[in-house]
Structure 1
Amino acid sequence: MKNLILFLVCNLVYISINAQSKDTTTKKLTSELEQIAQRNHINGFSVAIVNSDSVLYTHGFGFADVSNQKKYTSHTVQNIASVSKTCIGLALLKAQEMGKLNLDDPINKYLPFEVTNPHFPEESITIRHLASHTSTIRDASQYERRGYILRNSENGQARVNMNFRSSDDLMNYDLFLEKILSSKGEWYKKKNFIKKKPGEIFEYTNIGAGLAALVLENAVGQPFPEFTKTHIFDPLEMSNTGWFLKDVDDSKHSKLYAERDLELAPYQLVNYPDGGLITSSTDLGKYLSELISGYNGNGTVLNTESYKELFSPNLNEENHKNRSDSAYNDEYNMGIFMGMSATGQIGHSGGDPAVTTLMFFNSQTNTGKLLIANTELSKEGITEFIDIFKTLASYETKL
């Protein structure tokens, strides 16, 4: 009995010391990030560091609403740009588990309109081609010109981006894609496709990502937002995450800033699956933790085989025109909408008007970090953003 009591006492002391050490480390990290935030080139941002078990650290800095001095917190939500595409990957693999599709199926098996590379009309584009950005579809000029829609008809002093269109121009994304990709479409051009066979060359495409979500919708017979909520967001208890404002607590939504002192008019994406997910660092941290678990064979959203396919590289040197081996180049290799750098960082980056995001985990340490910012980055803002992420990386193994 004395030995048992001694063991329990020692164990409690060890836990207490560890807790104090973690608390000290957390305070130090917060202090370092606060010092960087004081440069004031980014109005508001949130971060998280996670492992496969939990969110180790999440915090917000600066302001979600500068004029009203509303703090940016770990529960503040905003769109996260192309990090959203990783959800398409998980959704496709869940549908494959359910027997609704196969990644090597031709996409025309599931589409209401035909999509074919006009330079190689006999070659089928597959779902895997879309998911690895080797479909030979390129982002047409109409994607930029017609893809961003103002949420409001009146925007006061807020800046309206030159590519933002009237709220009256909002259309369903399937019609948007048909107009661009169908040979009968209003905006169709042969140059919307590369002169390469599907599968031969990597060409990052937002339009292709949206098309993959449309394929999934038709394969499972359920809207993409409902499918991802049912099979990803709800199981992970991502309670304030969704593709539209109605799906989240919009009172927690950050304003976006075209410049440090200039608000950007609120906008939405027509082709929303490619970058329109709205979430917080708290919720996205849960998602990243699940990805790390899945990478190590312990995920809950997908089975082991699906996670293995999610992270299996599909590209080689021949698929690239120029292949950068920088630490966080998520285009070095590609799983199923899952980027992989040459240094073993796995995840995705994202950028839209006044939005910049990074979400990666280190495949060696099994620790991940993410950063969400609400301000268009100036030269100084880029430096601040990089320094924030470097600081997170330096604490990967300290928490």
Structure 2
Amino acid sequence: MIKTTGWRFFLLTFILLSAATSSYGQAAKAEAEIRSIMQQYDVVGLSVAVVQKEDIVYANSFGLKDLETRTPLSNSDIFRIASISKSFTATALQQLAEAGKLSLEDDVSNLLGFKVRNPRYPEQVITLKMLLSHTSSINDSQGYFTLDSINPAKNPEWEKCYNSYAPGTDYQYCNLNFNMAGTILEKVSGERFDQYVKHHILDPLGLYGGYNVDSLDGSRFTTLYAYNADSNSFSPSPSAYAPRREAIRSYVMGQSTPIFSPTGGMKISATDLAKYMAMHMNKGEYKDTRIISKKSARQMQKEIASNGYGLALTTAKDLIPGKKLKGHTGSAYGLYSAMFFDPKQKYGFVVITNGCSAPDSDEYNKALAATINSLYRHLIDK
């Protein structure tokens, strides 16, 4: 009996060691491929995280956090992640909807306190759902750093903020949509935008990040670099982390919200963003902490616009050939970010670079797309 048990223990140990060796070998292959991708696209630094079910099965950082000091990038370093930030705004609004404090079908005019109507369709209500799905018929032509651009009482050219098609009938990506949505969050909740997201999303999940620069450790900020194709060089973008202290000191609730950029201002590490992604992948829950209901999670992932965009999450049908993923991308100040997951097979990827020479015109940044495919091949589809 002892002899048999000994053989079983030996066999189990052998299987576990073989699996670990195989996983290590696959990770090494992925890393070699990623370094080649970085060289091809002049990537400054790259942070990646891979999730399966509720676990981060791989996380690593490559390259530099800062070119001038030659500081290596680490997994704890944080980035301004650009438009992936929109999903935090939508998640927070889903919480308010679940609490009965608003509805996604509410008239944005009533929520904001000034008229929001496409002048070509004055009787057509523009809803919060339309803002979150970029189907509002609103555009960024008058800017999006203040809501004065679309307020008829503040901008004589407010009509230019609207496209020619009727609200709810077509799609155009628009940052103003989400600065309006963030303002609505603040007005309805009574809590300052950055604080609401921290208290109701980040803190419950145990994540380090936020929209307010001064609430974070500045030493963890990853320098972002804009690429100049003419000179084949990179220049830092310090404005990505501008603290805007004067503006915050004179902050007006329900009006100054765009200061924190609900449309793009979240700062977080790739590893913590992957945990947040896992919450969405697992229908609103992560590690026994529920952030939104299953119904709300499904609603965010449901395709609304003709291109597959839902509520601050889109559907990617060609990022990984043959796979249908949910997520979002971001680009600003030279940074490129991507967060995509398979809600059925329960795996996902977060990939962020602080600068690269990959073309800005592609739907998916080529360096990030190649990295995601490499991680999928070696760590998921192994």
Report the equivalent of 1:278: 267
Q: What is the CA-CA distance between 1:296 and the residue it aligns to?
A: 9.5
Task: Pick closer, same or farther for the CA change 1:209–1:18 going to 2, 3 Å.
Answer: same
Question: CA shift at 1:37, angstroms?
Answer: 2.5
Question: Is contact 1:353-1:376 (8 Å) kept?
Answer: no
1:305 equivalent in structure 2: 295
1:358 paired residue number: 338
Change (3 A) 1:396 1:354: same
1:357 touches 1:371 (CA, 8 Å); kept in 2? yes
Question: How far is 1:378 from its partner?
Answer: 4.8
Alignment equivalent of 2:171, drawn from 185, 199, 202: 202
For 1:315-334, list aligned pairs within 5 A: 315-316=305-306, 332-334=307-309
In structure 2, C-alpha distance between the alignment counterparts of 1:290 and 1:104, rounded to whole Å: 25
Instruction: Identify unmatched segments of 5+ residues in structure 1.
Output: 148-175, 317-331
Counterpart CA distance in 2 for 1:386 and 1:341 is 11
Aligned-partner Cα distance in 2 for 1:244–1:271: 7
Structure 2, unaligned runs of 5 or more: 228-232, 243-257, 318-322
1:191 paired with 2:157, answer no
2:311 is matched with: 336
Distance in 1 between residues matched to 2:177 and 2:367, nearest whole Å: 32
* SS of match in other structure, 1:183: coil
Worse overlay, 345-354 or 109-118: 109-118
Q: How many Å separate the matches in 1 of 2:313 and 2:61? A: 26
Q: Matches of 2:377 and 2:289 in 1, distance apart?
A: 26
Q: Separation in 2 of the partners of 1:248 and 1:4? A: 54
TM superposition shift of 1:68: 0.7
Contact 1:368-1:396 at 8 Å conserved across structures: no
8 Å contact from structure 2 (residues 284, 292) kept in 1: no
Name the stretch that deviates more: 253-262 or 8-17. Answer: 8-17
For 1:274, what is the secondary structure of its paired residue? coil
Q: Is the 8 A contact 1:344 1:364 kept in 2?
A: no
Q: Which amino acid aligns with 2:331?
A: G
Q: For 1:341 and 1:397, locate their aligned partners in 2 and report how far apart those are by CA, in whole Å.
A: 18
Contact 1:371 1:389 in 2 (8 A): yes
Counterpart of 1:389, as a letter, is I
In the TM superposition, what is the alpha-carbon distance from 1:7 to its structure 2 partner? Answer: 5.1
Give the structure 2 partner of residue 153 of structure 1. Answer: none
Aligned residue type for 2:61 = G
Task: Decide whether the 8 Å contact of 1:41 with 1:384 is kept in 2.
Answer: no
Residue deviations 1:249-297 (CA, integer Å, cap 9, x gap): 2101111212344323433574611011111111111111222111799
Partner of 2:136 in structure 1?
135
Distance in 1 separating the partners of 2:381 and 2:223: 33
Q: Does 1:266 align with 2:255?
A: no
- Report the equivalent of 1:228: 197
Give the deviation of 1:133 after TM superposition.
Answer: 0.9
Judged with a 3 Å threshold, the aligned counterparts in structure 2 of structure 1 residues 13 and 257 are, in CA distance, closer, same or farther, namely: same
What is the identity, as a one-letter code, of the residue corresponding to 1:304? K
Return the match for 1:293 from 260, 266, 282. Answer: 282
More displaced stretch, 22-31 vs 295-304: 295-304
Question: 1:311/1:379 Cα in 2 relative to 1: closer, same or farther (>3 Å)?
Answer: closer
Question: Are the structure 2 counterparts of residues 114 and 379 from structure 1 closer, same or farther at C-alpha, using a change threshold of 3 Å?
Answer: closer
What count of residue pairs does the alignment treat as equivalent?
351
- Between the aligned partners of 1:138 and 1:271, the Cα distance in structure 2 is 20
Q: Could you tell me whether the CA contact under 8 Å between 2:41 and 2:356 is conserved in 1? A: no
Q: Which residue of 1 aligns with 2:98?
A: 97
- Counterparts of 2:20 and 2:8, CA distance in 1: 18
Name which of 221, 224, 240 aligns with 1:253: 221
Scaled by the length of structure 2, what TM-score is found?
Answer: 0.83
Amino acid at match of 1:247: S
Whole-angstrom CA distance in 2 between matches of 1:107 and 1:261: 41
Secondary structure of residue in 1 paired with 2:205: coil
Question: How many Å apart are 1:348 and its aligned residue?
Answer: 0.5
- Distance apart, 1:27 and its partner CA: 2.3
Letter of the aligned partner of 2:378 in structure 1? Y
Structure 1 residue 105: Cα displacement: 1.2
* 1:294 match: secondary structure: coil
SS state of the match for residue 35, structure 1? helix
SS in 2 for 1:254: coil
Q: Which amino acid aligns with 1:280?
A: S
Cα deviation for residue 385 of structure 1 reads 4.1
Matching residue of 2:245? none
